[in-house]
Amino acid sequence: MSAADAVAIEVAGLHAHYGDKAVLRDISLQVAAGEVMVIMGGSGSGKSTLLRHLLGLQQPTSGTVKVLGVDLGRAGRLALLQMRRRIGVAFQGGALFSSMTVGENILLPLREHTRLDDATMRIMMRLKLDFVNLPGAEDLMPAELSGGMIKRAALARAIVMDPKLVFLDEPSAGLDPVVAAGLDELILELKATGVSLVVVTHELDSAFRIADRITVLDRGEILISDTVVAVRASPNARVQALLNRRVEHARHDPDEFLRALTRAD
């Protein structure tokens, strides 16, 4: 195994801004091949933004992101394309193409990137549907699926090209506990096949069940990036607040607060 293969993702000194506002500050992290890295954090912590940077959907202000050995900031179109054929992504809302059936959605990457014959592609599609426990759903339209089914269909589409690295954005958000646990099982089964996974979530139970390592983000910074045991034992108050679901009250300076209330626009 070469060095590039041992590391699935390498982020160094990543800074990102929306306008003047810094949303990610000095993010550095590594995801080893074959591990499940969970990125956790509350709303507005920057975890979705970090995911967009890992996918090359946004350009950082500074810093580098390497995915499967490809430097996203420097790679040409063809190198990016080849890298993207080796990753799979399941977005939070599924992002299934609403004008296509579930089957066509899953077939799309195969049709676009391979020259397999149609019968073979259909077999692969049905295998993946079976893997995510949606056998026979290929002729349904995305609008006919429940929330849990959409997430599973999106996962099937993400893994149809047998990727080396899979990104999942909030795989269990908004699902009932049984369905969510089922998805966690699928993630662990995927991991067992040697796939590296990056899972963005704010569900603690799910994170502890599936993670090899956890990165906790807060206000655009990494608080800790370590094993599950180390994260649980972290002395950092903000990490513990997140783990124990403690509400952090912002403390107001009384004068500042009064000025904000009475401000004339």
Partner 1 sequence: MRKLAETFGRDIQAGLTELGQASVLLVEALQYTLTGSARQQPVRLSAVLAQAMDMGIRALPIVTVLSLAIGAMVAIQGIYSLGLFGAESKVTLGAALSVSREFAPLITGVLVAGRSGSALAARLGTMKINQELDALVVMGIDPVRFLVAPALLAMLLMLPLLTWFADVVGLFGAGLYITTTLGQGFPAYLADLQAALTVDDLLHGIGKSAIFAVEITLIGVVNGLGVSGGADGIGRVTTRAVVHGISAIVITDMLFAWLVIQG
- Tokens (6 digits) for 245: 């679901």
Task: State the CB neighbour count (10 A cutoff) for residue 169.
Answer: 24
Residue among 106 and 216 whose Cβ is closer to partner 1: 106
Question: Residue 171 CB, nearest distance to partner 1 (Å)?
Answer: 14
Question: Residue 85 CB, nearest distance to partner 1 (Å)?
Answer: 5
- Tokens (6 digits) for 61: 């202000």
Four-residue CA torsion sign, 45, 51, 57, 61: positive
Question: Residue 170 CB, nearest distance to partner 1 (Å)?
Answer: 12
Rounded distance between C-alpha atoms, residue 250 and residue 189, angstroms: 41
The torsion angle over the Cα atoms of residues 52, 54, 58 and 61, rounded to 10 degrees, is 120
| Residue for token pair 């893994």 | 159
Q: Which amino acid is at 45?
A: S
In DSSP terms, which residues pair with 80 in a beta bridge? none
Residue among 70 and 222 whose Cβ is closer to partner 1: 70
* Half-sphere exposure for 91 (CA within 13 Å, toward CB): 9
Under the rule (CB under 8 A), what is the footprint of partner 1?
Answer: 52, 55-57, 77-78, 80-82, 84-85, 87, 89, 91-93, 95-99, 108-109, 112-113, 167
Residue among 67 and 222 whose Cβ is closer to partner 1: 67
Question: Residue 93 CB, nearest distance to partner 1 (Å)?
Answer: 6
Residue among 86 and 219 whose Cβ is closer to partner 1: 86
Residue among 105 and 225 whose Cβ is closer to partner 1: 105
